[in-house]
Amino acid sequence: MTGQIVISGMTAACLMSPPCWADDADIALDFFHETCLAAESDFVRVSETASRESWEATATIAALVPVPSWEVSKSWTADVTGLGAKVLIGAASATLGGQAIDSCTIAFFDGQFASFEERFLVRTDAEKFGEESDGLQVSRVYVLIAGGRRQLVKVTAPVSPSARHMVMASSIASRTRH
């Protein structure tokens, strides 16, 4: 009887804990939200997080820089608890049209991310701004308020998602630090 109580208690605790019921899309969305949206896509802050979390620096990856002509950019790989493959993280900073902007991009691989965009829309006040497709991938741009400021978010995924595929999400916003 005591064994059944312990197992029942452990089961109940697990069901109430997000890591026990979260899937790839939830874990990826939480990581994107924490890294890029809620705490701002600020280049300096993302770089500080990379150092604090011991993300592995990589050569700059152009796909992680959502707009050309960046002044400075950095890329890292990191393990995210609950995901099977490392993620790529990129941060960039630039001045466009006299406006200082920063970006934060995360690419997630080899997971079940088909519902990432749908859950992103449920969790935010995002409004679709545009869409483009090259036949293999579709990119959608959204406008939303997150981290106390207006941000553009670009979500890129395969046109025909397989059971396991990739998704990339970028945030672009005015710089808040100088």
22-52 pLDDT, tens per residue? Answer: 789 999 999 999 999 876 557 888 999 999 9
pLDDT digit string, tens, across residues 81-98: 999 999 999 999 998 888
Predicted local distance difference test score (pLDDT) of residue 153: 94
Kindly state whether residue 5 falls inside one of the protein's structural domains: no
In a domain, 6, yes or no: no
Domain total for the chain?
A: 1
- Alpha-carbon torsion (44, 46, 52, 56), positive or negative: negative
Domain assignment of residue 2, yes or no: no
Q: Which residue range is the domain that position 99 belongs to? A: 23-174
CA distance 156 to 129: 14
Domain membership flag for residue 33: yes
Residues in contact with 54: Cβ distance below 8 Å, sequence separation at least 6, in sequence order: none
Token representation of residue 78? 């990191």
Domain assignment of residue 1, yes or no: no
10 in a structural domain: no
Question: How does DSSP classify residue 147?
Answer: T
Q: Which residues of 138-176 are buried (b: 16+ CB within 10 A; e: fewer)?
A: bbbbbebebbeeebbbbbbbeeebeeebbbbbbbbbebe
Asked whether residue 104 is assigned to any structural domain, the reply reads yes
pLDDT of 80 reads 96
Q: Domain for residue 141, yes or no?
A: yes
| Angle subtended at Cα 50 by Cα 46 and Cα 52, rounded to the nearest 5 degrees | 115
pLDDT, one tens digit for every residue, the chain (178 residues): 454 553 444 434 443 444 444 789 999 999 999 999 876 557 888 999 999 999 999 998 888 887 777 889 999 999 999 999 999 999 999 988 888 899 999 999 988 888 899 999 999 889 999 999 998 889 999 999 877 778 999 999 888 766 457 899 999 988 765 4
